[in-house]
């Protein structure tokens, strides 16, 4: 990074400074001492480099000062960059001088050794400094960058939706509620879609990208109560166009991460050959074909009885897929699969019926391989005023709150479609993280809001 703020250089640039003297500032990642030698790993946000102090080569006070550098002390060094096969990363710095910004008065809680998840979550504000978290958050940033690049380069206009909303998109049971001055209740948005539809009627192709909130009492490794979603919405797009777009987007994201994040993926130990395969075309199955596959494979539907016991059924057409079914379907695939045309009863009110099969709606989900799960959900929207009105009434949704949404079908209604891509689920899949809590800096979950 060359800029007028550049008063020193960063670890990631050191390859360009072999044989030259540099100044670095950062934190102690780790330090060991071996007689007349000290090895200090300096972490500056861009990477980690080993700095070496050899007692005979420096002033006495420099060597003594460096001995006070405990884990996560902040400090600066001046020294010469040298290639050395013995150093992690192949490059190290021979220290000539050391200065100190701050020495922690207490022991840093997170050691390079193993910790339990409860302890790490309580120290999330410090856990972020660990190398694995560093890598994940940089991949997250690259994914966001790739998403914006993709839409900006393809004629989309960023049109963000409000976060405070007066109504539910798909029902009120899972909404966070708050007071809105004298106007009654407001809710934190669980999707920007309805507003994106309005924006698309103004701007053609739009995307909204921001945090969304679900007060679902779910507690799994793929749920957050606050998560980020990008939602493109396109006037005149039909379902097949939308599936093509989703495919292009996901391919672009994964290939961009592969290009830009080799260091990070190496830190994470990610098998990049699996990501290399994420190229168009992806697999596609209709819901009906997927059900036939489950039946052929003998994958059962397990349902709870009122007395608490469980019953197994051959998977019936008409049931929505749960995580076990999605996993069974994805076992056969080494890249994402789009499942489309779901039964109308299990999908949202705003989805358009398939004219060629009234049992299903023009909906689609994209499932990621390697246990990545559902990363995209989308549909062609109902564009007929009367049919949409009928659906709103059938779901007992508050008609008042949807008047503006119905207006979109009153004034120049057009076929249109869109989808939502869950940022954290996508990053979880690409990084291979076991749990979604690791892929957002400060996860919000049902039983945790601190730090």
Q: CB of 90: closest distance to RNA in angstroms?
A: 10
Residue 430 as a binder of RNA (CB under 7 A): the answer is: no
Q: CB of 166: closest distance to RNA in angstroms?
A: 20
Query: Which of 64, 102, 178, 220 forms a contact with RNA (CB under 7 A)?
Result: 220
User: In the structure encoding, which two tokens stand for residue 24, read together?
Assistant: 């670095």
Query: Which of 19, 35, 269, 298 forms a contact with RNA (CB under 7 A)?
Result: 35
Q: For RNA, what does the binding mask look like between residues 224 and 253, x meaning CB under 7 A?
A: xx-x-x------------------------
Residue 399 as a binder of RNA (CB under 7 A): the answer is: no
DSSP tally for the chain: helices H, then strands E: 13, 19
Q: Where are the beta strands (DSSP E) in 154-276?
A: 157-158, 164-165, 177-179, 185-188, 205-213, 226-235
ω before 253 within 30° of 0 (cis)?
no
| CA–CA distance, 216 with 214 (Å, rounded to integer) | 5
* Strands 91-102, 48-54: pairing kind: parallel
Residue 415 as a binder of RNA (CB under 7 A): the answer is: no
Partners of residue 28 on adjacent β-strands? 42
Given the rule CB under 7 A, which of 197-205, 290-298, 399-407, 414-422 is the region that contacts RNA? 414-422
Using alpha carbons, select from 152, 194, 103, 102 the residue that is nearest to residue 379.
Answer: 194
Q: State which residue, 142 or 351, has the beta carbon closest to RNA.
A: 351
Residue 373 as a binder of RNA (CB under 7 A): the answer is: yes
Residue 36 as a binder of RNA (CB under 7 A): the answer is: yes
Residue 18 as a binder of RNA (CB under 7 A): the answer is: no
Query: Which of 111, 262, 311, 332 forms a contact with RNA (CB under 7 A)?
Result: 111
| CA–CA distance, 199 with 257 (Å, rounded to integer) | 30
Residue 370 as a binder of RNA (CB under 7 A): the answer is: no
Given the rule CB under 7 A, which of 137-145, 256-264, 398-406, 418-426 is the region that contacts RNA? 418-426
Using alpha carbons, select from 403, 366, 411 the residue that is nearest to residue 194.
Answer: 403
- Residues contacting 61, CB < 8 A, separation 6+: none
Residue 369 as a binder of RNA (CB under 7 A): the answer is: no
* Strands 205-213, 157-158: pairing kind: parallel
Residue 88 as a binder of RNA (CB under 7 A): the answer is: yes
| CA–CA distance, 258 with 139 (Å, rounded to integer) | 10
Question: Given the structure tokens 């007692």, which residue do they identify?
Answer: 55
Q: State which residue, 237 or 419, has the beta carbon closest to RNA.
A: 419
Q: State which residue, 86 or 396, has the beta carbon closest to RNA.
A: 86
Residues 95 and 51: beta-carbon distance below 8 Å: yes
Residue 211 as a binder of RNA (CB under 7 A): the answer is: no
Q: For RNA, what does the binding mask look like between residues 261 and 300, x meaning CB under 7 A?
A: ----------------------------------------
Residue 184 as a binder of RNA (CB under 7 A): the answer is: no
Q: State which residue, 270 or 425, has the beta carbon closest to RNA.
A: 425
Query: Where in 334-363 is the site for RNA (CB under 7 A)?
Result: 346
Given the rule CB under 7 A, which of 5-13, 83-91, 150-158, 259-267 is the region that contacts RNA? 83-91
Query: Where in 63-82 is the site for RNA (CB under 7 A)?
Result: 70-71
Residue 374 as a binder of RNA (CB under 7 A): the answer is: yes
User: In the structure encoding, which two tokens stand for residue 124, read together?
Assistant: 């999330």
| CA–CA distance, 375 with 189 (Å, rounded to integer) | 19
The secondary element (H helix, E strand) that includes residue 121 is helix 117-122
Given the rule CB under 7 A, which of 31-39, 179-187, 264-272, 279-287 is the region that contacts RNA? 31-39
Q: CB of 385: closest distance to RNA in angstroms?
A: 23
The secondary element (H helix, E strand) that includes residue 218 is none
- Rounded (5°) CA angle 442-448-451: 45
Residue 191 as a binder of RNA (CB under 7 A): the answer is: yes
Residue 324 as a binder of RNA (CB under 7 A): the answer is: yes
Given the rule CB under 7 A, which of 85-93, 135-143, 153-161, 287-295 is the region that contacts RNA? 85-93
- 232 CB burial (10 A radius; 0-12, 13-18, 19+): buried
Tell me what percent of the chain is helix, strand and coil, each rounded to the nearest 5.
35, 30, 35
Alpha-carbon Rg of the chain, whole angstroms? 26
Residues 381 and 197: beta-carbon distance below 8 Å: yes
Give the residues lining the site for RNA (CB under 7 A). Answer: 30, 32-37, 39, 50, 52, 54, 56, 70-71, 84, 86-88, 92, 107, 109, 111-119, 121, 174, 191, 214, 216-225, 227, 229, 304, 308, 320, 322-324, 326, 346, 365, 373-377, 420-422, 424-425, 435-436, 445, 447-448
């Amino acid at each position: 990074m060359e800029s007028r703020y550049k008063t020193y250089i960063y670890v990631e640039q050191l390859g360009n400074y072999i044989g030259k003297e540099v100044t670095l500032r950062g934190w102690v990642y780790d330090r060991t001492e071996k007689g007349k030698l000290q090895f200090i790993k300096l972490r500056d946000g861009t990477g980690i480099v080993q700095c070496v102090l050899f007692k005979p080569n420096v002033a006495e006070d420099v060597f003594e000062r460096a001995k006070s550098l405990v884990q996560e002390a902040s400090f600066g060094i001046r020294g010469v960059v040298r290639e050395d096969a013995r150093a992690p990363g192949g490059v190290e710095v021979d220290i000539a001088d050391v200065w100190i910004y701050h020495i922690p008065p207490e022991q840093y809680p997170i050691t390079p050794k193993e910790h339990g998840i409860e302890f790490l979550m309580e120290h999330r504000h410090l856990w972020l400094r660990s190398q694995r978290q560093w890598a994940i958050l940089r991949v997250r940033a690259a994914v966001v960058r790739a998403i914006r690049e993709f839409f900006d380069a393809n004629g989309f206009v960023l049109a963000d939706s409000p976060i405070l909303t007066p109504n539910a998109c798909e029902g009120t049971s899972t909404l966070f509620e708050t007071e809105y001055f004298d106007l009654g209740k407001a809710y934190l948005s669980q999707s920007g879609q309805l507003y994106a539809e309005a924006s698309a009627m103004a701007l053609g192709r739009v995307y909204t990208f921001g945090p969304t909130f679900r007060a679902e009492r779910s507690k799994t490794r793929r749920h957050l109560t606050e998560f980020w979603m990008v939602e493109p919405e396109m006037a005149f797009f039909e379902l097949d166009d939308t599936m093509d777009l989703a495919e292009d987007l996901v391919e672009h994201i994964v290939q961009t991460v592969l290009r830009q994040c080799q260091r990070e993926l190496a830190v994470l130990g990610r098998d990049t050959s699996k990501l290399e395969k994420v190229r168009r075309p992806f697999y596609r199955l209709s819901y009906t074909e997927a059900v036939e596959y489950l039946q052929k494979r003998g994958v059962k539907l397990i349902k709870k009885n009122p007395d608490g016991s469980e019953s197994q059924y051959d998977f019936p057409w008409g049931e929505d897929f749960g995580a076990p079914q999605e996993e069974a379907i994805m076992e056969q695939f080494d890249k994402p699969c789009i499942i489309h045309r779901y039964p109308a009863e299990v999908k949202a009110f705003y989805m358009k019926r398939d004219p060629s099969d009234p049992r299903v709606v023009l909906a689609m989900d994209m499932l990621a391989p390697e246990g990545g799960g559902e990363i995209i959900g989308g549909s062609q929207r109902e564009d007929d005023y009367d049919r949409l009105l009928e659906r709103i009434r059938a779901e007992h949704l508050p008609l008042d709150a949807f008047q503006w949404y119905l207006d979109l079908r009153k004034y120049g209604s057009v076929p249109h479609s869109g989808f939502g891509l869950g940022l954290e689920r996508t990053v979880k899949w690409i990084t291979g993280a076991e749990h979604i809590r690791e892929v957002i800096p400060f996860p919000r979950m049902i039983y945790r809001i601190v730090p």
